[in-house]
Amino acid sequence: MKGHFLAAAAVTAAAMGAALLSGSARHPALLGAAMASGTGLASLYGLNHSVRWRRRALQGALLVFVVMFLVRILLVGVGVAVVARAGESAVAFVVAFFAPYFAFTAIEGSLVHALNRGMGKPA
């Protein structure tokens, strides 16, 4: 699991670094990258702790996926509205949000797969 969190830290650093280098679209890109990274790290934390439910680890992981997906959808809408109202590039925000989002989704799937291997034989 340490590897998953290290990969997530690398994605966060890459997303924030790319946002800082985005020139005139720096502010919306930083906002998008920060929102994606924050929700991605929170999702990994939640998935890691869903193992506590032992018998219902899969239901716990599914709950984390659903809740974080809804939070992300809400944040994308709020972020686009805030960026558009400020007169900045909504495209930069969306690209900066969804590029790390897809990387975090792959890491989350890998973590769930790794947790599944450690649970033993299914009933």
Taking only the tens place, the pLDDT of each residue in 73-89 is 999 999 999 999 999 99
Q: Could you give the CA distance from residue 97 to residue 79 in angstroms, rounded to a whole number?
A: 9
Average of pLDDT values for 102-117? Answer: 85
User: Residue 112: which domain range?
Assistant: 2-117
Residue 91 counted as domain residue? yes
Residue 102 counted as domain residue? yes
- Residue 121: pLDDT over 70: no
Question: What predicted TM-score, i.e. pTM, was given to this entire model?
Answer: 0.85
Residue 122 counted as domain residue? no
- Residue 61: pLDDT over 90: no
What pLDDT shows up at residue 84?
95
Residue 25 counted as domain residue? yes
Average of pLDDT values for 84-96? Answer: 94
Tell me if 56 sits within 8 A of 123, measured CB to CB.
no
